[in-house]
Chain A
């Protein structure tokens, strides 16, 4: 159930990232932002990272997360500890980067974007789910008869 939840959380995050990416490239004219000032954040100089919009990096991040989470749901990867670890590392990196972005919003840009905060919350949930799955796999005794080619 946790793996399904992880996949669903990543899907929601994907659409948030897609929304912000489309805004960045001008497909969407104005952001819906009931609290905070999303446009100030999204048009600040910190909205770019290594030549690409941060939102586009988010899009790639969530696509990868969906792919891994979906694979993790499949019976053949049911007890794959490396996949569990990959999910922990990926979402852990997402949490670190989200913390950095949240710090920028609070201390540097002095403006909040509710979509960014939502994404940060989703990444944190994904990280906790990934940790829980990894721990539950680690708690299992090594399956007998497993042979890796």
Chain B
């Protein structure tokens, strides 16, 4: 392509072209572009480095009474560590965590007895149908099928969430039928909002911990709000178990002075 640019007067050229040829404007452009690049790359680097599990975990408030009989528990009562999830059935990240990460947690940590897993409802205001989901799960628990309903609810999130329907109970009743629950009992339970107070009590537990979103996990003496990957979850479990071991070793009579772990 051969192009011969006319040697026209200044008035014929677009302003931007004139500016592009002027070195002060060019310098300003490259300066601003450089600043944007530095800010952008710096921001992205910071965001990616500070999204690790350990980086955003905070200490559990030890003045709060321990959670004993609330929520729904899976795993051995003798497991050395209990992990609590504060979850919202309508939260998409909770849905992802449940479908992608939780199966691995169950098979590799819960089933072998390394941890015990407790789920507590933390219905968020922004999710209009999440209370219905929590009540449906509680009604399934009444028939001994909480975890089956828990999984079914998360896996069908797009069928009953706020954007999908204004009558989520209809979907939960179908799920109950598929799970082989006594449908009359389940339907009555759901319709009468039998476990509303229980869900409110669960919400109060989450609020007492000043959790700011879902899913939130209490793993030993740390709590974190994030859709953890399995590796992040496992790393937090490992460090909680290690801290517990070192704490119990420290409370035993020390075999030799100076052997206690440094804080």
Contacts and interface: CB of A to CB of B under 8 A. Distances in A.
A75 B26 CA distance: 12
Given A22-B44, A78-B14, A29 B52 contact: yes
A85 interface: no
A75 B21 contact: yes
Interface string A16-54: 001100100011111010000101100111000000000
B5 A78 contact: yes
Report, as a range, how many residues of chain B touch the other chain: 35 or more
Contacts of B15: 1-2, 136
Contact of A146 (B4, B14, B17, B19): B4
- For chain B, what secondary structure do more than half of its interface residues adopt (helix, strand, loop), or is it mixed? helix
B75 interface: no
Contact of B25 (A1, A32, A45, A145): A1
Interface residues of A, number: 47
Contacts of A89: none
Given A28-B47, A147-B2, A78 B20 contact: yes
B51 interface: yes
Contacts of A145: 4, 6
A12 B6 CA distance: 34
A19 B43 contact: yes
Interface of B: 1-6, 8, 12-17, 19-21, 25, 29, 32-33, 36-37, 39-41, 43-44, 47-48, 51-53, 56, 92-93, 95-96, 126, 158, 162-163, 225-227, 229
Interface of A: 1-4, 7-8, 11-12, 14-15, 18-19, 22, 26-30, 32, 37, 39-40, 43-45, 73-76, 78-79, 108-111, 133, 136-137, 140-141, 143-149
